[in-house]
Amino acid sequence: MVDEPKQPVWKTTSAVRDNARRLRRTLTDAERVMWNELRAHRLNGASFRRQKPIGPYIVDFVCDAANLVIEIDGGQHYEPQGIERDARRDRYLAFEGYNVLRFNNHDVLTNKAGVLETITTALQTKAPSLTSPASGGGEETEGGEPK
């Protein structure tokens, strides 16, 4: 008997997954700058994913360990329709247990240090120890040795 290869169980539609893949390929300048700072556990050892589907929405960046979503907003987010759409999206994400931080493109491009400091503070508030023992992080004992 030959084992059938396991098929993944997706929690989103194929259209949402395809859109997320497209968004990963076409980052804005501000998203590219932010991803360079967040990827590969570069910010306090936190693991971020980009353009991840959560329910019907695709978030720019998410740290699942801290339930933290980072959104980088362009000008359309500050028009009346964009404000209402973002409020609906934020309510959904909050219901799912996520804290949402929003920054505009200009802030990311001109005040990257301030944006990263705000994210770092939110990470420390939500999940004080995000590094895993596999990456050399994790908890220490009283003697300073890793567990």
Q: What is the pLDDT of residues 59-82, one digit of tens each?
A: 999 999 999 999 998 877 778 888
H or E segment to which residue 18 belongs: helix 14-25
Is the pLDDT at 140 greater than 50? The verdict is: no
Q: pLDDT at position 65, please?
A: 93
Phi-psi region of 132 (alpha: psi -120 to 50; beta: other; left: phi over 0): beta
Q: How confident is the model at residue 88 (pLDDT cuts 50, 70, 90)?
A: very high
pTM for this predicted structure: 0.76
Going by their DSSP bridges, the two strands 68-73 and 99-104 should be labelled as parallel
Extended beta strands in 15-109, E state = 49-54, 57-63, 68-73, 99-104
Q: Using only C-alpha atoms, what is the Rg of the chain? A: 18
Annotated domain spans of the chain: 28-123
Mean pLDDT of the chain: 83
What confidence tens digit (pLDDT) does each residue in 90-132 have?
999 999 999 999 999 999 999 999 999 999 999 988 765 555 4
Is the pLDDT at 145 greater than 60? The verdict is: no
Pick the CATH number of 28-123 from 1.20.1250.20, 3.20.20.540, 3.30.60.50, 3.40.960.10: 3.40.960.10
In terms of pLDDT, which residue wins out, 101 or 14? Answer: 101
